[in-house]
Amino acid sequence: MAYWLVDSPGSGDGSRNADFWLAHLQQQGITDVEVCHLEDQKQWRSRVSEGDCLMAAGGDGTVNGVAELCLKIGAILAVLPSGTANDFARNLDIPSEPGEVARLVAEGTVQKVDVAVSGERIFLNVAHIGLGTLPSRQASSPTKKWFGQFSYVVTLFQQLGAQRGFKARIQTDKSVLEGRWLSVAVATGAYFGGGHEIPEASANDGLLDVIAVRPRPLAQLLFAYVMVRLNGKTPRRTSTVIQVKTGWCQVETSHPKTVTVDGDEAGKTPFKATCQAGALRVIGTGVIQTGQHE
């Protein structure tokens, strides 16, 4: 097995760069590592072999790009958390302490996790339509600097008062939901937006989680948010938040709406996603399963 460290120097606060991770990997006996960059993949990807380990040193966007390469080549993904949110790393309970991360890579225990496919691209965490796209598009660097993983919620609440929602039809293999929505999220793992849990979810359950939020007064939205955070559950009887587990989904809107995928803009609606169960091999000792519905 060859080791490749895919560096993303601009991730997070910039401190967890290639040199940072190489020092910790060397302490675990991993000394023959080739450093590369995702934007220069044409120069090195042809030399990566099936079964090699591609280590993604960056945030969720970098992890997504490296995962796509792993799927095409048959390589194994290792996540070296270096970004602001690091939501995908949470799915595997990867520790924040860098020495422990390097030890996991050296041990090489492999898990299989799901991948969501939308058109020609994949995503590992979440796709957003509506209000949920704003933190990715509008969160400023100072906001991320001061609030870190909570910048998602800060930016979201800054925009709540100006949003009236949009009309959409959400089709899944279990139901069709129609009406006006504030936000629609399609998740393949158990976390999004800097560690916010999705109830009864995991990155290896073979299902997508569609979470749709209806336009409501700010107080009602805040109450729903707090209840989900405190209980780790989505109340089944609420008219504010709806959650559906499904193998695929399609979202059609009355007017084109921006779609973001793992924090990057990915076109406009209509949007369709399908879950590919267990498609990606990734280093980790287990996969987190979050709390149950009421």
Q: Residue 284 carries which DSSP code?
A: -
Q: Are strands 3-7 and 33-37 parallel, antiparallel or unpaired?
A: parallel
Residue 139, domain member (yes or no): yes
**67: containing domain:** 3-108
Our CA dihedral for 40, 45, 48, 49, rounded to 10 degrees, sits at: 160
Q: Which residues are CB-contacts of 207 (< 8 A; sequence separation ≥ 6)? A: 114, 245, 246, 247, 275
Query: Do 73 and 174 reside in the same domain of the chain?
Result: no
CATH (domain of 21) = 3.40.50.10330
Q: What is the CATH number of the domain that holds 215?
A: 2.60.200.40
Q: Strands of 126-130's sheet, edge to edge?
A: 241-246, 208-213, 183-187, 126-130, 258-261, 264-268
Q: What is the pLDDT along the chain (294 residues), one digit of tens a residue?
A: 999 999 987 776 778 899 999 999 999 999 999 999 999 999 999 999 999 999 999 888 889 999 999 999 999 999 999 887 788 999 999 998 999 999 999 999 999 999 999 999 999 999 999 986 665 544 444 444 443 444 455 445 555 544 578 999 999 998 999 999 999 999 999 988 777 788 889 999 999 999 998 888 877 777 776 666 656 666 555 678 888 999 999 999 999 999 999 878 899 999 999 999 999 999 999 999 987 544
Last residue of a domain, one of 78, 108, 138: 108
Are 95 and 177 members of one domain? no
Of 75, 108, 141, at which residue does a domain stop?
108
Instruction: Say which residues have a Cβ less than 8 Å from residue 145's Cβ, sequence separation at least 6.
Output: 13
Contact status, residue 289 vs residue 84, Cβ threshold 8 Å: no
Both 129 and 103 in one domain: the answer is no
Number of domains in the chain: 2
Q: Which residues pair with 3 in a beta bridge?
A: 33, 53
Q: Is residue 76 part of a domain?
A: yes
pTM of this structure: 0.84
In single-letter form, the type of residue at position 205 comes to D
User: Same domain, yes or no, for 104 and 127?
Assistant: no
Residues 133 and 96 in one domain: no
> What residues pair up with 127 in beta bridges, in sequence order?
186, 261
Residues 43 and 158 in one domain: no
Strands 258-261 and 126-130: antiparallel
For β-strands 53-58 and 76-81, DSSP reports them as parallel
